Structure 1
Amino acid sequence: MIRSRRRASLAGQVLVLQLLVLAVVVLTGTVVTVLDERRDADAATEREVAAVAESVAWADSTAAGLLSPDPTAALQPQTERIRLATGIDFIVVMAPDRTRYTHTNPALIGQPFSGHIDRALAGETFTETYAGSLGPSIRAVTPVYSDGRIVGLVAAGVTRERIIDQFLRGLPLLLAVTAVALVLAALGSVLLSRRLRRQTLGLAPAELRTLYEHHDAVLHSIGEGLLVFDAGSDVAEVVNDEARRLLTLPDGPITRAQLPESLRTLGPGQVKDEVHLTGDRVLVVNQDPVSFEGRVIGTVTTLRDHTELQSITGELDSVRVFTESLRSQAHESANRLHTVVTMVELGRTEEAVAFATAELALSQHLIDRLTTAIAEPALAALLLGKVNQAAERGVDLTVTDDTALPTTGPLTARELVTLVGNLVDNAIDAAGTGAGDERPWVEVTMRSDGAELSVRVADSGPGMSAEALERATARGYSTKSDQRGLGLALVMQVITRHGGSITAEMTYGSVVLVRIPLGGNE
């Protein structure tokens, strides 16, 4: 969409404001400096004229000249030499009655001095600004003593015109420094504005506010968890509400150390639809690096909750297993029925009855044993289905006679099916990869003594090391080379939830043992 009226960018507005502020500050500083220089010049002039007046007054030749028959002849040449040497405008030596004996303008000699002399007659040296015969001037007046009495006065001064001329001679340098300062400040503002424009993408303040409001609304409304990290930083810049809920994160800043272990080790690279497990959730994780001007500035990680979907998938898998088991049993029953019918047709009725009775007794014995030993019907049905499924794959699956599970404690039927079903599935898969000529086998033992529930699944497969088991229970591990599964990770999720443990060892086969304390939840 093209705007009919483009607002000035934030960088542009800041630049204009900075230039105005800088101009005001520099000009104000210049005015203050000018006034300060003028004050300093006046103070320096006062000290100078006071020093000259006192030097002349304290000279013995001054008192002698005042007491001589012709004070002007004695003092005029001397005061003029001093005036020219010091660069002041006038030195006046006068009688106590104001009569001038010396002056820069000889025509004024003999005329009364214009200015205040009362404080000098009282013995004080003072300075003042006064408009005298040469115009406004800064002057100092001091008494001349001879034998302890005042025999005359000395006034020395510099006209305002000379002070202004001296100040104006230094003003170009001051203005040049001011101009350089203003140019440097403006240049710095322009550079800062360019940097700010790059960082704000040339957006106006209203656009930035709208962008923030939309950004904040999106973060709170999207159904996926979102984590944003800057490159090289361990503190998340953005953590939305859904991410806090999915990862059970507290309020406030979040660091990588607070994330589940599998998310802490993601790295800065791209991740697509990778499955991770937390304590009670199954998450699908995607991560993309964020680049700006050809460099990576951070990562964006999204989290999708697949816990319910995984649960439904597990239930569908169980239904599929049951369906395949029923299909297998139906197929096997048809074969047996055809066998019995054929034997009857051949007149071998006794053999037909014996065959049918033996098969029925074997199947019924397994069903009776499992339903008696295992209190949870869903678990018993799962094991019956796994027996038939394993048989179809050429694996002998047995449930040991010492299996006894009268109580399952805090575990729900779904958790039991997840725990045992995934352990058995992994064992069946692993048994088929074992070496040797013997028929693959899987053995399941479940016990509950009131304090602890234990599930032992052994198989004829190659087994797993402690490191392999740790990887398998972390997330997305599979013994199959063409995919990454969730079986053992889901098992670990159930175990962790109930404070249990899992170990793997190689004894009479590859053995995986799960222990879950029942505590007071029996």
Structure 2
Amino acid sequence: MTFDRDEAEVLVGRSWRGLVSRSWPRSLAGQAIALQVIVIAVIVMIGSALALVDARQDGDEAARQQVVSIATALADAPSTASAIQSGRATEILQPVTEAVRTNTDIAFITIMSPDAIRFTHTDPRQIGGKYLGTIAPALRGETFTEVYTGTLGPSIRAVVPVLDPDGDVVGLVSAGITQQTLAQRWREQIPAIVVVGLGALAVSLLGVWAIRRRLLRQTHGLAPDELRVMYEHHDAILHSVSEGLVVLDGDRVAIVNDEARRLLGLPPGTISPSDLPAFLHDHDPGVRDEVHVTDDRVLVVNRSTVRGSDADRSDDRPTSKRSEVVTIRDRTELQGALGELSSLQVLTDSLRAQAHEAANKLHAVITMVEMGRPEDAVTFATEELALSQRLVDRLSADVGEPALVALLLGKTAQADERGIALTVTEDTHLPTTSAATAHLPLSAQEIVTVLGNLVDNAMDACDRDDPWVEVTVTSDDDELVIRVADSGAGMDADAFERAMQRGYSTKSDVNHHGLGLALVAQVVKRHGGTLTADVTYGSVVTVTVPVVTS
């Protein structure tokens, strides 16, 4: 079986990619650390190379400064000019230059005449020969350096003029260091640079290892694709769940899903703690089925602490820094249904009580007939019927809304059964025509909600020794007034304010135990009305709702 060149390259490429894929870390932490190790290794190698280049440049510069200093010192010495002018330059200066060269560890020191004839040299055989190199700038009185290949090989050298007292150039001094010597000095620094580079690499790898451990704990060893899928599913779930979800991380809002924004009336974009309703401002985990009434909704709230990493599980974290998950369910529609069911239950209880009372009265009438007193039986039955009919007739005449009439009749029967005197005052009056009823600021259901809850609260709060409740409902062109008084002690201003803001319930019957007044306040606030309480002839709660004219 044979392969052409292209097929072989494809197979080699696939094999290489497969090898890289198998050897490449799977987890996000592993991949992040592998990339960091590669980057750090490249940086250390580049840094070491730059350090070597810099060391070489520094060595060359230091060599230039050294040879300039040595040549200048010899050229400026008066003995040098005197020796040249005496004609005994080699005899006097050769020992001096060799001593200086040996002590300074440079390659050569050459003193020459202005026409470049050597007086001194490292190799005595070169004395008297021609100096190899540039001397023109020195003959002009300048000090300069150059790289030149002489008898000892390539070198960095400096040439300095020797001046007599009159300022004339009588000779030249050249000092130099061979590049071979400089390379040796440079190579001697390589081990130190390598040790520093390896030390930096080791410290970096130690830090990377610590980061890897932390990443593994925080990502649970998941691969990037797994984290991406998890995030996409997480985001999809947040947007699709029918419950509101808010995640509070200390003093910031970490997550708010679409349903929570709708239920809490939050704006789009980033949410700050100040945007949340008051009942979410405090860290209060462990709450179950807590009922809160907002301006237009009845919400059931559950709160629990986030159990994440070991650090998050620690109870040492300040309360304000702990995280919690808040779930919110909308019970507005359910509350409305429960309100209607409660009204039907009141009506059922009223009918049951009336049936029970009617049975008692029927027994009394039958007994009177059996006793041979039919006239008394007729009188008794007629008076009871007239009494009930008068209440029905009065309410039907004064209150045009059938639902409200049914509510008042039911509450009257319920109060009578509980031994409470419930009175609908003579001031009670609502429009009886359909057109006038349509202009009431509250709908029939809202009136039933407001009045039903106020009467329930009043019957629960009235004095047991003298139980009575008084109801007044009036309306004119400007406002609707609903007033309920009872014989109870009433509430102070703070308690009344708290009762209007929210209610609590851990029982299935969420229509009681604190929700009543909050639901009333919700309706009143929605229509721009007022809800007040005072203690005068009894505990009096008054609802005033303005009539909005179109």
TM-score by length of 1: 0.92
1:249 aligns with 2:280: no
Of 161, 164, 169, which residue of structure 2 is paired with 1:150? Answer: 169
Return the offset for 1:129. Answer: 1.3
RMSD: 2.3
Return the offset for 1:227. Answer: 0.4
CA contact (8 A) 1:400 1:443 kept: yes
Of 152, 156, 159, which residue of structure 1 is paired with 2:178? Answer: 159
462-471 or 493-502, which deviates more:
462-471
Return the offset for 1:73. Answer: 0.8
State the distance in 1 between where 2:25 and 2:126 align: 73
CA contact (8 A) 1:276 1:475 kept: yes
Give the structure 1 partner of residue 202 of structure 2: 183
1:459 aligns with 2:486: yes
Give the structure 1 partner of residue 287 of structure 2: 271
SS where residue 464 of structure 1 aligns?
Answer: coil
Of 403, 422, 425, which residue of structure 2 is paired with 1:397? Answer: 422
In the TM superposition, 1:448-487 aligns within 5 A as: 448-476=475-503, 484-487=513-516
Amino acid in the other structure paired with 1:269: P
**Number of residue pairs the alignment of both structures matches:** 509
State the distance in 2 between where 1:239 and 1:7 align: 34
Give the structure 2 partner of residue 72 of structure 1: 90
TM-score by length of 2: 0.87
State the distance in 1 between where 2:87 and 2:326 align: 108
Return the offset for 1:93. Answer: 1.2
Return the offset for 1:10. Answer: 1.5
1:260 aligns with 2:287: no
1:14 aligns with 2:32: yes
Amino acid in the other structure paired with 2:203: L
State the distance in 2 between where 1:97 and 1:252 align: 87
CA contact (8 A) 2:25 2:31 kept: no
459-468 or 38-47, which deviates more:
459-468
Amino acid in the other structure paired with 1:175: V
Structure 1 156/477 Cα, relative in aligned 2: closer, same or farther at 3 Å? closer
1:446 aligns with 2:473: yes
Give the structure 2 partner of residue 382 of structure 1: 407
1:493 aligns with 2:522: yes
CA contact (8 A) 1:442 1:459 kept: yes
Return the offset for 1:476. Answer: 2.2
Return the offset for 1:314. Answer: 1.0
SS where residue 533 of structure 2 aligns?
Answer: strand
State the distance in 2 between where 1:143 and 1:11 align: 68
In the TM superposition, 1:281-430 aligns within 5 A as: 281-291=297-307, 292-293=309-310, 294-295=313-314, 297-406=322-431, 407=437, 409-430=440-461
CA contact (8 A) 1:262 1:474 kept: no
Amino acid in the other structure paired with 1:179: L
CA contact (8 A) 2:44 2:197 kept: yes
State the distance in 2 between where 1:185 and 1:194 align: 14
State the distance in 1 between where 2:214 and 2:121 align: 67
SS where residue 442 of structure 2 aligns?
Answer: coil
SS where residue 153 of structure 1 aligns?
Answer: strand
89-98 or 283-292, which deviates more:
89-98
Of 538, 541, 544, which residue of structure 2 is paired with 1:509? Answer: 538
Structure 1 286/426 Cα, relative in aligned 2: closer, same or farther at 3 Å? same
CA contact (8 A) 1:477 1:488 kept: no
Amino acid in the other structure paired with 2:178: T
State the distance in 2 between where 1:317 and 1:36 align: 90
Return the offset for 1:208. Answer: 1.4
State the distance in 2 between where 1:163 and 1:119 align: 25
Structure 1 368/7 Cα, relative in aligned 2: closer, same or farther at 3 Å? farther
CA contact (8 A) 2:441 2:480 kept: no
CA contact (8 A) 1:477 1:489 kept: no
155-164 or 402-411, which deviates more:
402-411
State the distance in 2 between where 1:319 and 1:7 align: 68
Unpaired runs of at least 5, structure 1 = none
Give the structure 1 partner of residue 130 of structure 2: 112
CA contact (8 A) 1:143 1:150 kept: yes
Return the offset for 1:477. Answer: 5.2
Return the offset for 1:57. Answer: 2.2
State the distance in 2 between where 1:246 and 1:74 align: 106
State the distance in 1 between where 2:247 and 2:167 align: 92
Give the fraction of aligned pairs with identical amino acids, expressed as a percent: 55
CA contact (8 A) 2:441 2:545 kept: no
Give the structure 2 partner of residue 29 of structure 1: 47
Structure 1 158/240 Cα, relative in aligned 2: closer, same or farther at 3 Å? same
State the distance in 1 between where 2:538 and 2:23 align: 78
Structure 1 81/105 Cα, relative in aligned 2: closer, same or farther at 3 Å? same
State the distance in 2 between where 1:451 and 1:423 align: 22
